[in-house]
Amino acid sequence: MRRRSPRRLLGVLATTTVAFTLFSPASPAGAAGTATTAAARPAGVSARPLSAATPVVFVHGYTGNASNWTTAMSVFRLNGWSGSNLFAYEYDSYGDNVTNARGLAAFVDNVKARTGASKVAIVNHSMGGLVSQYYLKVLGGNTSVSHLASIAGANHGTTSAGACLIYTTCQQMYPGSSFISQISAGDETPGTTRYATWYSACDGIILPYTSTRLDGATNNNVPCQTHIGYLTDTAVLGQIARFVAS
């Protein structure tokens, strides 16, 4: 096989950065959102009394970090959550998603211990879907999770990961990988956890965009939203907050 020149390799890495970097929302951490959340309820969400008592763990995507959830946390606070019940899990985007999922398991256990809650809700974005699905399905984490909301999750992989296959996480994120096969085989939504996804044809990064949908979940088709745009979409984030509260 012909070896790539250093210049060509740098070009691939640059393409990867452009394609996957998750830009932090412009507002400072902890700032309240300025837009009101949408009143519409996504399909399948019941009209039962809402509760904001469940701790929420946010799981970022490839190359992301906790700051990606600044707007989401503001929206959740507007919907009744205390800031002390909102947590962001960070992991190594260039490592191994099995290790990342094990780290999520430990993080959830720590949140439960700190809050006294028996279960948490998980809200993920992009590659965070793989980390979350492995935790819930393979590691048995569904017993500790009341709700799973996947925003543009790479749940069945994305061909965009072909731009960064030098990393294990991207190899795992590519459609047809053994990792994808493991989390999609059999029941994709195990346990009593309530599952919902949000996906859009305008995503641009999750290819095919229907990869996010999970069998057995409430799958919400957003008319047009970009992959990064979800992170500041207060209407969708408001729907997710109400789903988690249901």
Q: Which residues are designated catalytic? A: 126, 203, 227
Sheet holding 145-151, edge to edge: 86-89, 56-59, 120-125, 145-151, 194-199, 218-221
CB 230 within 8 A of CB 202: no
Residues in the chain: 246
CB 96 within 8 A of CB 169: yes
Name 61's Cβ contacts closer than 8 Å, sequence gap at least 6. Answer: 20, 22, 68, 124, 125, 126, 127, 128, 152, 154
Gap between the Cα atoms of 214 and 228, Å rounded:
21
Gap between the Cα atoms of 242 and 76, Å rounded:
9
Percentage helix, strand, coil, to 5, in the chain? 40, 15, 45
Name 163's Cβ contacts closer than 8 Å, sequence gap at least 6. Answer: 12, 15, 16, 19, 20, 170
Q: Angle at Cα 238 formed by Cα 160 and Cα 48, nearest 5°?
A: 120
No. of H helices and E strands in the chain? 7, 6
